[in-house]
């Protein structure tokens, strides 16, 4: 069985532009962002979905999301943030489908029409920025975490 990419990132075995990390949660820039600043917030312990999540880990995850929302708005200058989670065990694992619980924090701006564009282009809005680009954005957001 192939190692979980998010577990490998949590263990610092794979590179990522890390924005936040504590003993139970790690947040990093999405490698295939919908927009600049798209973050993934991940419990370090492997859970496949919220169904498996214990209360303490759930609390830790929500606490970090609160910090990151504000930091994201200040760091990339967005007006709002979408919080999304997908649990689709019927899909095969792939670049965009991973069996490790994670939440997407997606910066939003008035009139961005992000999801209308995504529906029209069937996912072609995603691009793969360099680790340097992701690290630069991560630094801006990280500087705003309180």
CATH of residue 9's domain is 3.30.428.10
Task: Dump pLDDT digits (tens) for 112-145.
Answer: 887 777 666 555 556 778 889 889 888 888 888 8
pLDDT at 1 exceeding the cut of 50: no
Q: What is the pTM of this model?
A: 0.80
Task: Dump pLDDT digits (tens) for 41-81.
Answer: 999 999 999 989 999 999 999 999 999 999 999 999 999 99
Tell me the C-alpha distance between 72 and 19, whole Å.
10
Total domain count for the chain? 1
- Range of the structural domain that residue 20 is part of: 5-142
The whole-number pLDDT of residue 120 equals 64
The whole-number pLDDT of residue 24 equals 97
The whole-number pLDDT of residue 95 equals 61
The whole-number pLDDT of residue 78 equals 93
**What is the pLDDT confidence band of residue 111, given thresholds at 50, 70 and 90?**
confident
């Amino acid at each position: 069985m192939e190692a979980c990419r998010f577990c490998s990132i949590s263990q610092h075995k794979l590179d990522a532009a890390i924005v936040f990390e504590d003993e139970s949660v790690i947040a990093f820039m999405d490698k295939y962002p919908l927009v600049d600043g798209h973050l993934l917030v991940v419990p370090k312990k492997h859970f496949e979905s919220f169904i498996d999540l214990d209360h303490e880990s759930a609390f830790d995850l929500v606490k970090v999301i609160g910090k990151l929302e504000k930091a994201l708005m200040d760091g990339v200058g967005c007006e709002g943030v979408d919080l999304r989670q997908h649990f689709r065990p019927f899909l095969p694992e792939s670049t965009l489908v991973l069996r490790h619980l994670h939440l997407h924090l997606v910066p939003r701006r008035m009139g961005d029409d992000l999801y209308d564009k995504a529906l029209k282009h069937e996912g072609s809005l995603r691009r793969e920025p360099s680790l340097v680009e992701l690290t630069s954005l991560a630094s801006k957001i990280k500087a705003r975490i309180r």
